[in-house]
Structure 1
Amino acid sequence: MMFLNKNKPKIFCISFQRTGTTSVGHFFKDFGYKVAGYDSKRSVEWSTKRFLGDLDSIFLSKDFKNNQVFEDNPWWEEDFYKILYHKFSDAKFILFTRDSDKWFDSMINHSKGKTLGNTFRHSKIYKREEEYYNSFSDKNYYKSIKEIDNLLEINNTHREHYKAIYNLRNKEVIDFFNFYNPNSLFVGQLEDVNKWKKLGAFFNIQVPDNYSIHANKSNKLF
């Protein structure tokens, strides 16, 4: 089993939400890494601080210092990966992509046709700010920034808008790392049956041939 050396490079999963981020966290946990995955209080707190630009409060926190792998919020949000790359020059990054229609279907299904999480932050990420401000002109936006409120609808009328954002952002991530350091980024497809073997190879992890992310966690894999 591996134990975290605080001097080891950080690993950030910067895949869009609904693109296997939780599975990535399980993968690294299975091989003994210290993982900061989704935790409702911590994830909301970190997303809020990122949104407000209070990044030192994230990087100086005990949870950040004591973990090596980071998935879910706020690492995938907007251009945060650029800050992370320049802040942690030896860090590694993971980008999984998937069919954009399947991704959007998952977005719709997650919160039963409503915006995921906090709608104010969601509207900024997915460029629906004008709609949000017009719909909630009397709302105290920043006071409610930590609420999971699901205030706007997501339906098929939004499909092309969301898909365009999803596809463009994935391209921008790849272009950014191709410019700075291609060796810092692992890119995989969620539909690829060999994705865990390929991810393991990137991080020099010996992944058993029969490995599955749903494997019984009582089975020792390391």
Structure 2
Amino acid sequence: MSKIFCIGRNKTGTTSLEKAFKDLNYKVGNQRDAEKLLINYIEHDFESIVNYCNTAEVFQDVPFSWPDTYKHIDKAFPGSKFILTERDSSEQWYNSITKFHSKKFADGKRIPTKKDLINATYIFKGQPWLVHKHIYGITDENTYDKEIMIRNYEKHNAEVKEYFKDRPDDLLVINISQKDAFKKFCEFLKIESPPYNDFPWENKTSDIGANKNSKIIKLKRKLKRLKEKIQ
């Protein structure tokens, strides 16, 4: 059975993609269950990840945003579609992920330390540190080494594009902040009559502008409810 996999790195708009798919009535995989597959990924147990993919139609974020996962699920689900999301620059991506992790794993004013990540209880204690160690290859105190992380981000994007270079119908590469991104998204998936014209921004950090159309939709719904109360 063909499926859709969003394989862009975290903080490239994957949560906004998830919101769009849900609004379009696709069944999206449970993200918390997917995040529990970290140990399976580390141990190269891709069979468990493939089995998880039988639970829905669309999947995003980890472990699908990590190196090589897309190769295994591509073989397991021939005919599936893949979406690689990117930011305006590698620098922008790095600033976004460090800002997000600062709020999530530290005090919001500094980049998390190795100790912060080891003691973090997201999913299970130490999970964030294992991600840095096994996904980014960072093992020392400089947990957010800019050069290492950017190189890892760029390497992932380049490898995805190389893997699908002869299959343009199977891979969509987009920056969801660009004006024509949602149009490309709909054309790629052959979606007709979408509920809005641009991606709804979700889980944004301060460097990402809010989506105006999403705000307009919410305002219209609010006005509608007010009119119903008046009548």
Calculate the TM-score normalised by the size of structure 2. Answer: 0.71
Question: Hey, what's the Cα distance between the residues in 2 that align with 1:37 and 1:196?
Answer: 23
Do structure 1's residue 28 and structure 2's residue 35 form an aligned pair? no
- What is the CA deviation profile of residues 38-62 of structure 1, one whole-angstrom value per residue up to 9, with x for unaligned ones? 32xx13322222222233333334x
- What is the CA deviation profile of residues 176-206 of structure 1, one whole-angstrom value per residue up to 9, with x for unaligned ones? 1014x22210111233122111101100012
Secondary structure, aligned partner of 2:17: helix
Which residue is equivalent to 1:105? 95
Secondary structure, aligned partner of 1:102: helix
Question: Could you tell me whether the CA contact under 8 Å between 1:37 and 1:71 is conserved in 2?
Answer: no
- What is the CA deviation profile of residues 141-175 of structure 1, one whole-angstrom value per residue up to 9, with x for unaligned ones? xxxxxxxxxxx642xxx223221221122111101
Question: Hey, what's the Cα distance between the residues in 1 that align with 2:130 and 2:143?
Answer: 13
* Percentage of pairs with the same residue: 30
Secondary structure, aligned partner of 1:196: helix
How many Å apart are 1:27 and its aligned residue?
A: 0.9
Question: Hey, what's the Cα distance between the residues in 2 that align with 1:204 and 1:23?
Answer: 19
Kindly report which structure 2 residues correspond to 1:103-142, keeping only aligned pairs within 5 A, or say none: 103-112=93-102, 113-114=111-112, 117-129=127-139, 131=140
The alignment covers a number of residue pairs equal to 184
Q: Which amino acid aligns with 1:103?
A: W
Query: Please, which of 70, 85, 90 is the counterpart of residue 74 of structure 2?
Result: 85
Question: Hey, what's the Cα distance between the residues in 2 that align with 1:170 and 1:185?
Answer: 12
RMSD after superposition: 2.4
Which residue is equivalent to 2:164? 177
Question: Could you tell me whether the CA contact under 8 Å between 1:95 and 1:187 is conserved in 2?
Answer: yes
- What is the CA deviation profile of residues 73-126 of structure 1, one whole-angstrom value per residue up to 9, with x for unaligned ones? 110111111111122111110001111111000111112112775212322211
Worse-superposed segment, 112-121 or 98-107: 112-121
Q: 1:212 to 1:13 in 2, by over 3 A?
A: closer
Q: 1:49 to 1:202 in 2, by over 3 A?
A: same
Question: Hey, what's the Cα distance between the residues in 2 that align with 1:212 and 1:96?
Answer: 12
- Structure 2 residues not aligned, in runs of 5+: 103-110, 118-126, 202-213, 222-231
Q: 1:111 to 1:174 in 2, by over 3 A?
A: same
- Structure 1 residues not aligned, in runs of 5+: 1-6, 136-151
Secondary structure, aligned partner of 1:183: coil
Question: Hey, what's the Cα distance between the residues in 1 that align with 2:35 and 2:55?
Answer: 18
Which residue is equivalent to 2:175? 189
Do structure 1's residue 60 and structure 2's residue 46 form an aligned pair? no
Worse-superposed segment, 23-32 or 111-120: 111-120
Larger Rg: 2
Do structure 1's residue 72 and structure 2's residue 61 form an aligned pair? yes
How many Å apart are 1:29 and its aligned residue?
A: 0.8
Question: Hey, what's the Cα distance between the residues in 2 that align with 1:186 and 1:212?
Answer: 15
Q: 1:82 to 1:59 in 2, by over 3 A?
A: closer
Q: 1:128 to 1:189 in 2, by over 3 A?
A: same
